[in-house]
Amino acid sequence: MIKKIEWSKYFKIQPHKVDTFVKNFGANKTYAMGLMPIRGPKGFRKLDYEFAEKELNINKIMNKLEEAHFNSLGIVIKDTDGACTWDTKVGWNPTNRDVLGEFCDAGKETNIKINVSFTSMNDAYQGYLHPERVSVHGESGKKHGIYYKDGEISTHIEGEMRVDLPKNVSFEEYHKKIPFLTDQVDEKAGKSRDARGKGYIPLTSFMCPNSEHIDYLLELVIEVVKNYPIKGFFADYIRYDGEFTDLCACNRCIQKFRSNYGNKPKLLKSNEWYDFKAETIANYAQRLHDTIKSADSKCVTGWFCLPGPKKLFSRKRLGQDWMKLSSILDVVSPMEYPYLMGTRDDGWYWGKVADFFYWYFVRNMKKRAREFKSPALTVTNSVECNTEEMIKQIRSFDFGLGIAVFKYFGTSEEQWKALKLYAENEIGLENLKFS
């Protein structure tokens, strides 16, 4: 068994903030399972509305979570495709179902509280509907075989998700339902993280964080927080697209940058520009936080953070200032997925790749934990890794509040058993009960 890391040495968070979080949450420890309703019954490489509509069995899911002693469910209510899986008047819901409402109802009779994850800037459907709100490239270049030009919008083929046509439905018909679907097909699944999908390839868009897309998001937020008894609201993709360094160079952003910083600083590559990106994302965080609290002052606000180098990645590419964002939102959720980068089950080489990322993620967090001004609750993966790797991550990245596991579909029976034993023997059932 690997030794637990003394994380309290690395974090510099005021104790009252941790106390407030635990009090708001209502149990000493969080043990959360993530669920993506529209990614099908296995991993997360499919975009599958048919499954969400016809096969997603809410009671079966809640029973399984209770049996393994989970006290929290994190539902991805808005995924990167833009689908909104609740009863919405503002957004696009292709599932014909109020998935969130059904989970909230089922949760009432259990020890499980409902949290939601909300994809913010990445939104394929909005990219189709509002190309004028999509972020714009400021340079020409090539990435993963995709060419893009200065001035073009950042709508590209999706790296992760693929789509199968439902039985007896033609591509043309299905294209009406998923207008961002292309007729290109990915035939073979690979082993690296971005090559595991198979099927029709959809488009994906990163929206401009200075556009009306933000107003649209906040309208959705009010709908969710006002109408559903959720415990926490977590913003995902609260950032720029990490694949590119030249976003967003639309007229809105350039004008705003010039009016804030004058005509001297260089676009795309100056310190002022990186400050501007971080401020843009922090402004969204502030508006999001205020909107959530105005609808329900007790709802916990959170955000997902990608580990990596501070300057090159968090600042220059993502526009995520950890200190700023964690001063605004109540809790941060670092995504510690080393064994999603590879697994020993795919052979010795991929085991080594993943071990390297594990080492790197621990080191990165030790180095950067002091940037957080709020408590941190890690989310780590159970999909696409084996039981031993999963438990190793769970143990190592519990920073004191508990752990969230990603995700329900794709977790093996052996892993479910291990998760149950982990709750009983390492967290302690008394810590998971709500007061």
Q: Is 199 left (phi over 0), alpha (psi -120 to 50) or beta?
A: left
Long-range CB contacts for residues 189-196, cutoff 8 Å, separation at least 24? 189/45, 191/342, 191/346, 191/350, 192/342, 193/340, 193/341, 193/342, 194/144, 194/159, 194/160, 196/43, 196/45, 196/384
For the record, the structure tokens of 58 come out as 């809410």
**Contacts with Zn ion in 222-281 (CB under 5 A)?**
248, 250, 252-253
Tell me the window of 42-50, 92-100, 202-210, 329-337 that interacts with Zn ion (CB under 5 A): 202-210
Distance of closest approach, residue 80 Cβ to Zn ion, in angstroms: 19
Name the residue nearer to Zn ion (CB basis): 208 or 328: 208
CB 239, min distance to Zn ion, A = 14
Binding region for Zn ion (CB under 5 A) out of 70-78, 210-218, 391-399, 400-408: 210-218
Q: Which is nearer to Zn ion, 65 or 250 (CB)?
A: 250
Kindly tell me which of 253 and 385 has the beta carbon lying closer to Zn ion.
253
Q: How far apart are CA 223 and CA 86, in angstroms?
A: 9
Output the smallest distance, CB 60 to Zn ion, in A. 43
**Of 119 and 210, CB closest to Zn ion:** 210
User: What is the dihedral sign for C-alpha 390, 395, 396, 397?
Assistant: positive
Task: Between 210 and 396, name the residue whose CB sits nearer to Zn ion.
Answer: 210
Q: Report in angstroms how near the CB of residue 213 gets to Zn ion at its nearest.
A: 10
Tell the smallest beta-carbon distance from residue 240 to Zn ion (Å): 10
State in angstroms the smallest separation of the CB of 262 from Zn ion.
Answer: 19
Taking CB under 5 A as the criterion, which residues in 392-431 touch Zn ion? Answer: none
Q: Of 210 and 415, which CB lies nearer to Zn ion in the complex structure?
A: 210
Give the residue with the Cβ less far from Zn ion, 134 or 390: 134
Closer to Zn ion by Cβ: residue 135 or 393: 135
Quickly list DSSP for 48-108: -HHHHHHT--HHHHHHHHHHTT--EEEEEEE-TT-BB-S--SSSB-TTSS-HHHHHHHHHT
Query: Binding mask 94-113 vs Zn ion (x if CB under 5 A, - otherwise)?
Result: --------------------
Binding mask 154-193 for Zn ion (x = CB under 5 A): ----------------------------------------
CA distance 300 to 296: 9
The pair of structure tokens assigned to 305 is 């953070």
What angle in degrees, to the nearest 10, is found between the helix axes of 271-295 and 251-261? 110
Question: Closest approach of Cβ 131 to Zn ion, in Å?
Answer: 13
Buried b (16+ CB within 10 A) or exposed e, 187-209: eeeeeeeeebbebbbbbbbbbbb
Binding residues for Zn ion, total number by CB under 5 A = 6
Binder of Zn ion out of 35, 208, 329, 405 (CB under 5 A): 208
8 Å CB contact between 247 and 136: yes
Q: Please state the closest distance from residue 278 (CB atom) to Zn ion, in A.
A: 15
Which positions touch Zn ion (CB under 5 A)? 208, 210, 248, 250, 252-253
